Structure 1
């Protein structure tokens, strides 16, 4: 099972980069399997992630592999603790979502029927420094009643019962942000 999980993380990490949902060192994905979290390693790049660059931690953040997890591991853990239904998380840095986070407060309006069905609402969490427990706490709280959150000046976080579901929710968030931005013109 470990190999299947790592293969999924590699696949969707590369896909996120190919589709312009993140660049350079930005973003990270994770999958929860039992009490273990598989997450991109710190310093790894999404478009050339390998199975050897997937870290494993427990639900307390203890490192179980020889690889250090992403600096955003607290964010992932906070969501998994608050939402037992969540099995995968996508944290990405899509450009339109980041841009609108500087223009809107509260929530991004949901425009398309697909976003209405699969996201329902898209709250915007206030800015907190990357990698901090503060950020983890505000995002986990926002995700209590949502499967997607935009983080002010930072990116997005989406959750799902699978990495596929979390990934496609991320695409819907970015599409919603782009449509909202373009509709203002």
Structure 2
């Protein structure tokens, strides 16, 4: 059986992301790992019109780059793969509700069974760091050990997965959870699942190490 070209899978996922309205225009960047190499969207290229040539290869060992100029968020992507060997896909997106919650001071917690089942971890919020910076990558590295989804203040959402499909589904689950959280607050309801119950649910599904 012929080996799949991971770049074709990235192209397909990029278009799914746009159709799901998780980014607009040229926003967001995605990547996938294949052995020692990571393929990441090229800088400034829109996801919905990308092709296999839109994805740049980075050697995780040497840091060498081939095929163009990678996204400015290359440090953030690379640190995820270096932190955890189980990660095979990283999506950095700009969904409306996730970005709104990320940029607020709303308390985070287990807002739904669906979120915990999809993520295998609770969602968390990073401290603000400039986009594309090594400082942001360091912040992500500190959180990635226990989380599969991280809200980025004034920026967006970062999710990881064992493959592109799982990462995409986690992004959708996070966006739905953040929408639920906002609507619950508007209704005056702000109740999370108890910590003990959250841990029980997480134990039934793949944990942080996917």
Q: TM-score range by the shorter chain?
A: over 0.9
Equivalent pairs, count: 183
User: With structure 2 as the length reference, what TM-score do the two structures score?
Assistant: 0.83
Instruction: Note closer, same or farther for the CA distance 1:162–1:132 as it changes in structure 2 (3 Å cut).
Output: same
Q: Separation in 2 of the partners of 1:174 and 1:61?
A: 32
Match of 1:114 in 2: 114
Q: Separation in 2 of the partners of 1:38 and 1:102?
A: 29
Q: Separation in 1 of the partners of 2:77 and 2:165?
A: 16
- Is 2:55–2:67's contact at 8 Å kept on the other side of the alignment? no
User: With structure 1 as the length reference, what TM-score do the two structures score?
Assistant: 0.94
Cα distance, 1:46 vs structure 2: 1.1
Quick check: which has more Rg, 1 or 2? 2
Q: Separation in 2 of the partners of 1:110 and 1:50?
A: 37
Superposed CA RMSD: 1.5
Consecutive aligned runs of 4 or more in structure 1 exceeding 4 Å deviation: none
SS of 2:166 mapped into structure 1: helix
Q: Separation in 2 of the partners of 1:110 and 1:166?
A: 19
SS of 1:91 mapped into structure 2: strand
Cα distance, 1:108 vs structure 2: 2.6
- Is 1:61–1:73's contact at 8 Å kept on the other side of the alignment? no
Gaps of 5+ in 1: none
Match of 1:7 in 2: 8
Match of 1:61 in 2: 63
CA distances 1:20-69 after superposition (whole Å, capped 9, x unpaired): 10111111111111100011001110111111111101114320x23111
SS of 1:145 mapped into structure 2: coil
Q: Separation in 2 of the partners of 1:57 and 1:131?
A: 16
Cα distance, 1:109 vs structure 2: 2.0
Gaps of 5+ in 2: 187-210
Q: Separation in 1 of the partners of 2:145 and 2:168?
A: 19
